[in-house]
């Protein structure tokens, strides 16, 4: 039995794994593409579990080999991260089953429940009242504080499902000036980033050692892609809440300020009350913010900016990110 889609046909081995192990006795009703699978293949799986009255929805995530400049977690690590986050009441998609090494399906494969909700990016773009924006910001900040309360043995990247980083505590991306130089050296020659932009990026990156020193030794769970496209929100009892935090493939152990910088990268585009609400919610959830947190978080976010600017997914996103770069150079938030 096969189902076609951009993720490729649902091959017999994967289908057998689904109906015999992941969802024993279930009938697969459909496999449809899901947007946003830039580094892995994602599909919406509709299946009728054995004994169920109706069909239910799941997300099938199939991991591709990755050789990019930004380290990405394996399926086994992502499953472990999701479990650790859920134990701290972080809203995540429940894992149904995994073939973490692809021994059955041929590729590392993860099946988790489809989560209802509205992408935070859509809600922010549609506009909110000041009260609604602040309330939503506080909800998002509170969830980030919960993520930060997941403590790991030491800082660093995850090598396996134990979530114990290597003893040297090396950040996954290394030193910021060096990372920026590598990004610029491997950028396409005909890319949109010009020499002036590159000079600004290098100048800002010189603040990297100071920013990294300020957060050295911190060992909280960091999502590392904590931005509106990876958060689902919904109204519950008349209030905004975060329904799920998605896509943990970049997670590591370090400072929550990486995630603060990520969320506030495009704050100038959001309703004005959202960012203050986000900061309030983070602090109220026991999230620690040092006195110069805006500078530190913006500097840490340069890791992401350098990667985006030298390998942009599309012209529109490049333009938005370039604006952020020059706002940072001008000292504007």
Average pLDDT over residues 70-98: 95
Q: Same domain, yes or no, for 196 and 229?
A: yes
Q: Which of 62, 88, 85 is nearest to 74 (CA)?
A: 62
Q: Same domain, yes or no, for 61 and 156?
A: no
* pLDDT score for 3: 41
36 pLDDT more than 70: no
Q: Same domain, yes or no, for 27 and 164?
A: no
171 pLDDT more than 80: no
Average pLDDT over residues 180-195: 90
Instruction: Report how far residue 261's alpha carbon sits from residue 7's, in angstroms, rounded to the nearest whole number.
Output: 32
* pLDDT score for 8: 46
Q: Same domain, yes or no, for 109 and 158?
A: no
- pLDDT tens-digit series, residues 129-166: 999 999 999 999 999 999 999 999 999 999 999 999 98
Q: Same domain, yes or no, for 166 and 205?
A: yes
Of 113, 131, 155, which residue sits at a domain end? Answer: 113
Q: Same domain, yes or no, for 63 and 97?
A: yes
Whether residue 105 lies inside any domain: the answer is: yes
Q: Same domain, yes or no, for 195 and 211?
A: yes
- What is the extent of the structural domain holding 94? 12-113
Whether residue 206 lies inside any domain: the answer is: yes
- pLDDT tens-digit series, residues 279-323: 999 999 987 899 999 999 999 999 999 999 999 989 999 999 999
* pLDDT score for 69: 82
Average pLDDT over residues 4-33: 83
Number of domains in the chain: 2
Whether residue 272 lies inside any domain: the answer is: yes
Q: Same domain, yes or no, for 103 and 224?
A: no
Whether residue 2 lies inside any domain: the answer is: no
Q: Same domain, yes or no, for 60 and 126?
A: no
| pLDDT band with cut points at 50, 70 and 90 for residue 52 | confident
Give the DSSP H or E segment for 25: none
> What's the CATH number where 99 sits?
3.30.200.20
* pLDDT score for 38: 66
Q: Same domain, yes or no, for 130 and 262?
A: yes
Whether residue 5 lies inside any domain: the answer is: no
Q: Average per-residue pLDDT in the chain?
A: 91
Of 113, 138, 172, which residue sits at a domain end? Answer: 113
180 pLDDT more than 70: yes
Whether residue 21 lies inside any domain: the answer is: yes
SS3 content of the chain, % helix, strand, coil (to 5): 40, 15, 40
* pLDDT score for 67: 72
Q: Same domain, yes or no, for 18 and 33?
A: yes
332 pLDDT more than 50: yes
Instruction: Report how far residue 291's alpha carbon sits from residue 303's, in angstroms, rounded to the nearest whole number.
Output: 22
| pLDDT band with cut points at 50, 70 and 90 for residue 127 | confident
Of 96, 113, 130, which residue sits at a domain end? Answer: 113
- pLDDT tens-digit series, residues 238-262: 999 999 999 999 999 999 999 999 9
Q: In this structure, which long-range contacts are made by residues 264-270, counting pairs with CB atoms below 8 Å and at least 24 apart in sequence?
A: 264/297, 264/333, 265/227, 265/301, 265/304, 265/305, 265/321, 265/324, 266/227, 266/320, 266/324, 267/333, 268/327, 268/332, 268/333, 269/124, 269/320, 270/124, 270/133
Percent of the chain with pLDDT over 90: 81
> What's the CATH number where 196 sits?
3.90.1200.10
- Phi first, then psi: what are they for 245, rounded to 5°? -105, 120
Whether residue 100 lies inside any domain: the answer is: yes
Average pLDDT over residues 72-84: 96
Q: Same domain, yes or no, for 220 and 294?
A: yes
5 pLDDT more than 70: no
Whether residue 28 lies inside any domain: the answer is: yes
- pLDDT tens-digit series, residues 203-232: 999 999 999 999 999 999 999 999 999 999
């Amino acid at each position: 039995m096969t189902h076609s889609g951009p993720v490729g046909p649902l091959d017999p081995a994967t289908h057998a794994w689904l109906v015999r192990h992941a969802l024993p006795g279930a009938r697969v009703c459909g496999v449809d593409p899901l947007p946003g699978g830039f580094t892995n293949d994602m599909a919406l799986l509709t299946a009728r579990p054995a004994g169920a009255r109706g069909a239910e929805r799941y997300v099938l995530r199939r991991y591709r080999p990755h050789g990019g400049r930004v380290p990405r977690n394996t399926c086994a690590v992502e499953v472990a991260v999701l479990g650790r986050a859920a134990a701290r009441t972080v809203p995540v998609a429940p894992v149904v089953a995994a073939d973490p090494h692809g021994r059955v399906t041929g590729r590392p494969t993860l099946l988790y429940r489809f989560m209802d909700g509205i992408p935070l990016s859509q809600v922010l773009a549609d506009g909110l009242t000041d009260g609604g924006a602040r309330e939503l910001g506080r909800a998002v900040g509170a969830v980030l504080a919960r993520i930060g309360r997941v403590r790991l043995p030491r800082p660093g990247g995850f090598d396996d499902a134990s979530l114990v980083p290597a003893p040297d505590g090396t950040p996954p991306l290394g030193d910021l000036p060096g990372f920026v130089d590598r990004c610029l050296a491997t950028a396409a020659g005909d890319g949109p980033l010009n020499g002036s932009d590159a000079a600004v990026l290098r100048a800002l990156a010189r603040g990297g050692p100071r920013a990294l020193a300020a957060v050295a030794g911190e060992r909280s769970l960091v999502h590392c892609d904590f931005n509106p496209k990876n958060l689902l929100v919904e109204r519950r009892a008349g209030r905004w809440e975060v329904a799920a935090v998605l896509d943990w493939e970049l997670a590591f152990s370090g400072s929550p300020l990486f995630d603060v910088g990520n969320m506030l990268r495009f704050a100038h585009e959001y309703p004005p009350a959202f960012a203050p609400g986000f900061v309030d919610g983070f602090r109220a959830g026991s999230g620690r913010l040092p006195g110069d947190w805006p500078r530190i978080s913006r500097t840490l976010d340069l890791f992401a900016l350098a990667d985006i600017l030298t390998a942009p997914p599309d012209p529109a996103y490049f333009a938005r990110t370039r604006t952020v770069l020059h706002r940072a150079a001008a000292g504007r938030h």
